[in-house]
Structure formats: structure tokens, C-alpha cells
Amino acid sequence: MGRPLVILSGGLDSTVCMALAAAGGGGDSDASAPLAVTFDYGQRHRVELTAAAAVAAHYGAEHLVVPIDLTGWGGSALTDATIDVPDAIDGATHGDSDSGGIPVTYVPARNLIFLSLAMGIAEARDADDVFIGVNALDYSGYPDCRPEFVASFEATAALALKRGVEGRPVRVRTPLIDLTKAAIVALGVETGAPLHLTWSCYRGGDRPCGTCDSCVLRAKGFAEAGVADPALAR
């Protein structure tokens, strides 16, 4: 039996995924400790890398930080210093957009790239499941968070990997995909996830800005769950 691999950004969603994977959420009751994988992709909110390390340490998990610089070609407010991170509009769940409701914080192919790297690592390290905290309900309108993308990716990866040829494809686990942000907060509390260690803000300041898309979504989630955000008490 392999262990679960968790794509851990240090944010709320991936930390709840970590809690689920650590609890054997891969369907394997005696799962070994998760392997946490964090991508250092040149994101302006680099403080999330520190948060990811703290979350991994909380679980005593091996933590692999993979440098993959996505800033070399631009295309996103998160990786291009010349594009500002917008405020969320009127508390809506979609940020400013220049195309089809997809906000400027969209990073071209980010989840495709992250999942692909995770698949390579999973195969090399014999992990059976890759957890990713994508969410298609209270989300930012990114196409690579939709269940149809995830299902298609899983099938593609099975064709790419030796493990797929051998009839034991690596599964992609998206336990949060149908949950509201409030339900994710509640699940985090229920599973004892270290929410106080997480970071969600897209901006790079010392404290969450409170007004970007990610901050607004997070605040809405905690409010609707009736839980005080422990990260704001730091």
C-alpha cells in the first residue's frame, strides 16, 4: 500500500485535504503518513510557503517543496508583478475578469502543471492517491477547478504513467470539490485541521488584506460556518 500525496499550498482547502489524508481519507484505514508537496511557483503570496511548511510539520509529514517558476511568461496577477490583484467585487465570489468570468488571478494551466508534477512524484514515490483541494462551488471561476477537468486529467495521467500501463493508476482525490467554503471550514474543525496555520490571501503583505477574492471567500466561509478565523488572531 502506498501513501497519499497531498498538494499542500498552505491555504485553507489544502490543509483540510491534509487532515483528511492523514486520517486515512484515501480509503485506506492504515494509510501511512501523507507526503506533502508544495509548489514554489513564484507566487507573490510567498508567505503561503511558510504556512505549508508549518502544516506539514504539524502532521509530521515529509514535505517536498518543488520549485517551478511560472513567472517567466506572465499571464496572471499571481505571477506577474505588473498585474495588480484586484479586490473582490461587491462581495461576489468572482474577481475582476477579462474573459468569461475567469479572474486575472487565474494562472494559465496551474492545476494541470501541479497535478502533472504530483503524478510524477506519486509514481516515483509509490503513492496511490493524489489529494488536491480544488473546489467548484465557492471558488474563483478557474476552469481547472471543475470536476470535468479533474476526471479528464485522471484518465490522461493513467495513459501517461507506467502505473497506468500496469493497471494501477494513481487516483486524484478531490474531497472538497462539492463543498461550500462554510462546509470546508466545518470539516476542518471536525478533523482538527490546524486552520490557525493557514494562509489564503493573494497579496503578499504581513497580514491578510481582507479584500482580495481569496480573503473574501475565506471570510464568508468562516462567517457562514459560525467559526472565528483562528488565523486572524495570530
Determine, following the binding rule CB under 8 A, whether residue 226 of this chain makes contact with a copy of itself: no
Q: Which of 93, 156, 180, 211 forms a contact with a copy of itself (CB under 8 A)?
A: 156
Cβ pair 16, 132 in contact under 8 A: no
Cα 17–Cα 9–Cα 78 angle in degrees, nearest 5:
140
Nearer to a copy of itself, 21 or 145 (CB): 145
> What's the alpha-carbon Rg for the chain, to the nearest Å?
17
Determine, following the binding rule CB under 8 A, whether residue 149 of this chain makes contact with a copy of itself: yes
Determine, following the binding rule CB under 8 A, whether residue 106 of this chain makes contact with a copy of itself: yes
Q: Which of 33, 54, 83, 161 forms a contact with a copy of itself (CB under 8 A)?
A: 161
Q: Going along 94-216, which residue ranges are E strands?
A: 97-99, 102-103, 127-131, 171-173
C-alpha cell read off for 165: 500501463
Determine, following the binding rule CB under 8 A, whether residue 72 of this chain makes contact with a copy of itself: yes
Q: Which of 24, 86, 143, 204 forms a contact with a copy of itself (CB under 8 A)?
A: 143
CA atoms within 13 A on the CB side of 91: 3
Determine, following the binding rule CB under 8 A, whether residue 94 of this chain makes contact with a copy of itself: no
Determine, following the binding rule CB under 8 A, whether residue 221 of this chain makes contact with a copy of itself: no
| Residue 142 backbone dihedrals phi, psi, to 5 degrees | -80, 130
Single out the segment in contact with a copy of itself by CB under 8 A; choices: 8-16, 86-94, 131-139, 147-155. Answer: 147-155
Single out the segment in contact with a copy of itself by CB under 8 A; choices: 24-32, 49-57, 116-124, 188-196. Answer: 116-124
Determine, following the binding rule CB under 8 A, whether residue 91 of this chain makes contact with a copy of itself: no
Nearest approach, Cβ of residue 203 and a copy of itself (Å): 21
Task: State the Cα–Cα distance between residues 176 and 16, nearest whole angstrom.
Answer: 9
Task: State the Cα–Cα distance between residues 134 and 165, nearest whole angstrom.
Answer: 27
- The 8-class DSSP code of residue 154 comes to H
Task: State the Cα–Cα distance between residues 109 and 114, nearest whole angstrom.
Answer: 9
Nearer to a copy of itself, 91 or 100 (CB): 100
Q: Helices 213-225 and 181-190, interaxial angle, to 10°?
A: 60
The neighbour count for residue 43, using CB atoms within 10 Å, is: 20
Please give the residues from 10 up to 69 whose contact with a copy of itself meets the rule CB under 8 A. Answer: 64, 66-69
Nearer to a copy of itself, 73 or 192 (CB): 73
Determine, following the binding rule CB under 8 A, whether residue 108 of this chain makes contact with a copy of itself: yes
Footprint on this chain of a copy of itself (rule: CB under 8 A): 64, 66-70, 72-76, 99-100, 102, 106-113, 115-117, 119-121, 123-125, 143-144, 146, 148-149, 152-153, 155-157, 159-162, 164-166
